[in-house]
A and B are shown apart, each in its own frame.
Chain A
Amino acid sequence: MEDWIISNIVTALLLAGFVGAAAAVRSSRIWTDAAASLWRRRPIALLVVSFYVAVAILDSILWVGGVDAGEDVVSAHEAKSVIDRLFLDARERSYSAPLADVEFYGAKPLAHPGSHPMGTDIIGRDVVYMALKGIRVALLIGGLTSLIAIPLSLLFGISAGYFGGRVDDFVFFIMSTLASMPGLLLLIALIMAMGRSTLSICIALAVTSWVGFCRLVRGETLKLREQDYVHAARVLGVSEFQIVMRHILPNLTHLVIITFVLTFSGLVLSEAVLAWLGVGVDGSWGQMIDQARSELSRDPVVWWNITAAGLALFGLLLAVNMVGDAIRDILDPRTLRESS
């Protein structure tokens, strides 16, 4: 199946997921209150995050056609997203400063003078467009990695905490082993071994980040297991699987949410470092920053590339951090401490 069709399907599933989550929140008083409290505390940060998510979604809805074949026959048959189409006719030939009328080197007049708020890059692409494209990449990294890491942590953590004994020993050993390997090193080693595709980068990030959450899950499960209602359920003959699904898992939801939001920014930052090392995901801000590094030593300085990428990155991370802090305060008044 074509890549772009997969992207559309995934986007549709995600939107369905959002709707489902919203319905679930609406139906439960606790969650509705929490959501209202979050909106009260951090409206701006939430709006910023929503903006980023909206752009990412728009950038994931792709279809072919509707493009004036004109100069570029090849690209006319590529799938383009909503964001792509907004910037279809914005190419220049090379660098230009923000809102300039002429090219940066050589002062030749631009095809679209004064219409590039952050200038253009080395092959003439609008820098705002490049920054916006990076949003989808960043959210993909954070989202896909968490999608792999969180279920993994839950599986191992709950098993270790609930069943104890040999299972616990085994999981503990795996966690110790993985935790003993310096993070960045292990990350790079994994990527070198598995290849540099987006999927393998996300898998590598997941492998290096699931241990922390797993420990937390294990600790909480140990506590939850001793609750009276769990004992009662067992005495009534409820199967272990059902106990886990009905009593343990739902009580871990707040941990999942907090961890997801708080580790999100760490993942995006890690990818930036990977990009600079040459093993990042295509189109990410990290890559933009890496490519822009050499531009700063030119004279006169080409500063707009790195500024746009840096600001976009900073904006997302700041908003996510603030929302994450607020979520943590709301869902768990005693701030979670990393278990050592």
Chain B
Amino acid sequence: MVAYVIRRLAYGVLVVFGVLFFLFVLFFWVATPDDIARRALGEKAPPAAIEQWKINHGYDRELWPWQSFEDNMLFAHYRSMLTLDFGRSDADDVPIIEKIAKGAGPSLALTVPLFLLGLVASVMLSLIVAVFRETYVDRMGVVLCVLGMSVSILLYIVGAQFLIAKLLRWFPISGFDPSPDVVARFLALPLLVGLVSSIGSNVRFYRTVFLEEVHRDFVRTARAKGCGEARIMVRHVLRNAMIPILTQIVIAIPFLFTGSLVLESFFGIPGLGALMVEAIQGNDFATLRAMVFVGSVLFVVAQVITDVSYSLADPRVRLE
């Protein structure tokens, strides 16, 4: 097991190197340092200002190792990323690491409850729908899911803000205050919107998984033993559906940290998602680069955790 984990992590490191290379190509070759400088300073900036800006940000060197082995941007890029020395934001010169640290808290405050509630709700609803398969409860459920999936999250947000915040005035439209007594009020609406917008596709997915298991032979055996439908669902079907469920869970973990861009900006929550939106609108390539890197590392770790958890959930899975 340990050998397997080490091997997977090693492959993960390789993947991270690949990601860094991709980022380098994207941000220094497809979009050259000149482009970045011009976007930061304005299209009409004089060449001297552009050169100065590039020097300030360390973008004035040769790009590739074959152009200059000692001092090229590819190696510098790898070095700084891997040492988590993200430098300063292209837009406002604040150290990026600081920004990330500050934004992590509010992001987690939203994404963790959203994730947990969403998981519990989706799994429970799917189980119920699966128990009543092929009755009108099931059909209604599927219809509701498809309807829910066809509405853009933007519309959910606009609808929620308009109806609940403006008309009914139950919760504030946006904003964030981390003090424990009021923080729930600010999180209530984004939580609700996040839940409702994703429950449709989640329930549909889990329902498919459960229905596949429900038709298996061992379920028939359980029924012949005298198991009731509810018990069958929980003790037999759910246990066997763990692999796809686990995949969903672990894949969602990186997003807990990177936050939801859409929810955070609409609801004024100063998390990592909002940070990314700022970076986009301010053409802040440096921050964007750092965020993608962080997200990728988390993804790779999540992948390894997924594989390991598979073997725990399903005894037939042998880690090679």
Q: Which positions in A face B, CB cutoff 8 Å?
A: 173-174, 176-182, 184-186, 188-190, 192-194, 265, 269, 272-273, 276-279, 286, 289-290, 293, 296-297, 306, 310, 313-314, 317-318, 321-322, 325, 334-335, 337-338, 340
Contacts and interface: CB of A to CB of B under 8 A. Distances in A.
5 shortest A-B CB distances, which residue pairs?
Answer: A177-B18, A317-B150, A193-B31, A182-B295, A318-B150
Nearest to B281: A278
30 contacts: A173-B15, A177-B18, A177-B19, A180-B15, A180-B299, A181-B292, A181-B296, A182-B295, A184-B261, A185-B276, A188-B276, A189-B26, A193-B27, A193-B31, A273-B261, A276-B154, A289-B158, A306-B158, A310-B151, A310-B152, A310-B155, A313-B152, A313-B155, A318-B146, A318-B147, A321-B149, A321-B150, A335-B212, A338-B244, A340-B243
B300 interface: yes
A286 B154 contact: yes
Contact of B152 (A176, A178, A188, A272): A272
Interface string B142-181: 0000110111111100100110001000000000000000
Nearest to B280: A188
Interface in B270-287: 276-277, 280-281, 283, 285
Contacts of B11: 176
B14 interface: yes
Interface residues of B, number: 52
Contacts of A181: 19, 22, 292, 295-296, 299
Interface in B257-307: 258, 261-262, 276-277, 280-281, 283, 285, 288-289, 291-292, 295-296, 299-300, 303, 306
B291 A185 contact: yes
Nearest to A310: B155
Contacts of A184: 261
A105 B162 CA distance: 21
B212 to A, nearest CB: 7
B209 interface: yes
Contacts of A194: 30-31
A278 B161 CA distance: 21
B311 interface: no
A181 B19 CA distance: 8
B208 interface: yes
Given A189-B26, A189-B288, A173 B244 contact: no
A180 B150 contact: no
B12 to A, nearest CB: 8
Nearest to A311: B155
Nearest to B146: A321
B175 to A, nearest CB: 15
B247 interface: yes
Contacts of A289: 152, 154-155, 158
A177 B15 contact: yes
B146 to A, nearest CB: 5
Contacts of A338: 244
B158 A293 contact: yes
Contacts of B26: 189-190, 193
B208 A335 contact: yes
Nearest to B283: A192
A265 B148 CA distance: 13
A184 B264 CA distance: 14
A213 to B, nearest CB: 17
B280 A278 contact: yes
A186 B295 CA distance: 10
Nearest to A190: B26
A286 to B, nearest CB: 7
A238 B154 CA distance: 53
A216 to B, nearest CB: 15
A193 B154 CA distance: 25
Nearest to B277: A277
A285 to B, nearest CB: 8
Nearest to B32: A193
Among A184, A278, A337, which residue has the most Cβ atoms of chain B within 10 A?
A: A184
B99 to A, nearest CB: 15
A185 B292 contact: yes
Contact of A340 (B18, B27, B244, B254): B244
A189 B16 CA distance: 17
B22 A185 contact: no
B146 A192 contact: no
B30 A193 contact: yes
A182 B254 contact: yes
Given A173-B14, A173-B18, A273-B262, A192 B295 contact: no
Contacts of A273: 152-154, 261-262
Given A192-B31, A192-B280, A192-B288, A185 B295 contact: yes
A28 B300 CA distance: 45
Given A273-B154, A337-B244, A340-B244, A182 B18 contact: no
Nearest to B243: A340
A321 B300 CA distance: 32
A180 B19 contact: yes
B37 to A, nearest CB: 14
Given A180-B19, A182-B254, A192-B280, A314 B151 contact: yes
Contacts of B283: 192
Contacts of B280: 188, 192, 277-279
Contact of A192 (B244, B254, B285): B285
Contacts of B149: 265, 317, 321
Interface string B54-76: 00000000000000000000000
Contacts of B161: 296
Nearest to B246: A340
Contacts of A279: 280
A217 B26 CA distance: 27
Nearest to B16: A180
A265 B152 CA distance: 10
